[in-house]
Every structure is written in structure tokens, then in C-alpha cells.
Amino acid sequence: GIQVEQSPPDLILQEGANSTLRCNFSDSVNNLQWFHQNPWGQLINLFYIPSGTKQNGRLSATTVATERYSLLYISSSQTTDSGVYFCPLWETSGSRLTFGEGTQLTVNP
């Protein structure tokens, strides 16, 4: 099956810092979402981004489908950005989302 590799696995920042999270995929990228899982377990959809670049406030994402990777940029990080970030890939053969292990982000005040 498809492999989703996320880096870094853990990231600790001071409030106000910028960061880049990366996902590499072993297969073609047809459908991709970025999620933020808060400390209470809620998975919040950040972006649906099969290709190109999107921005939403302090967050932006870029997917380069031909090179099988996606990036999530967080600028001026806040403590509420803490949690785990996932970039699951939707397999073209069905409805399955394949998750990687995520990036655990901790933003300290």
C-alpha cells in the first residue's frame, strides 16, 4: 500500500517562530488533506490540497504532486497550534485514507 512519511516526527518551537512540516508519498498524489489533531483528539481539516498552494491565515500548504510531496507552513506560531499534524492520502482505488505517523508540534509560550 501507499506509504506516507512525515517529517520531522517531533518539533518544539517558541511562540512566534515559523516552521515547515513535510510529507513524502510512495505513490501518486491524487487527493491530499492536512489535518491538525488537537490535544483532545479532535481532527480539524486544514486544507484539501491535491496540488498547488493554498493559504489560510498563518497557515499555507503546497503540494507538488509530480514529486510526491506536500509542505505545511506555519508562521508566527501560537500555543494553540500545538498538537499532531497529519497529511493522509486518499487512495485512488477506494475511499481509504492512509495516514502517516504525524508530526507532533509543541509551541511553548
Partner 1 sequence: ETGVTQTPRHLVMGMTNKKSLKCEQHLGHNAMYWYKQSAKKPLELMFVYNFKEQTENNSVPSRFSPECPNSSHLFLHLHTLQPEDSALYLCASSLPSRGEFNYGYTFGSGTRLTVV
Q: Which residues bind partner 1 (CB under 8 A)?
A: 4, 30-31, 33, 35, 40-45, 48, 50, 86, 88, 90, 92, 94-97, 99-102
**Are the beta carbons of 101 and 58 closer than 8 angstroms?**
no
Smallest gap from residue 35 Cβ to partner 1 (A): 7
Q: What are phi and psi of 80, to 5 degrees?
A: -70, -10
Least Å from the CB of residue 81 to partner 1: 18
| Shortest spacing between CB 27 and partner 1, in angstroms | 14
Distance between CA atoms of 57 and 50, rounded to whole angstroms? 19
Q: Which is nearer to partner 1, 14 or 45 (CB)?
A: 45
Contact 34, 47 (CB under 8 A): yes
Distance between CA atoms of 50 and 47, rounded to whole angstroms? 9
Query: Residue 83 or 102: which CB sits closer to partner 1?
Result: 102
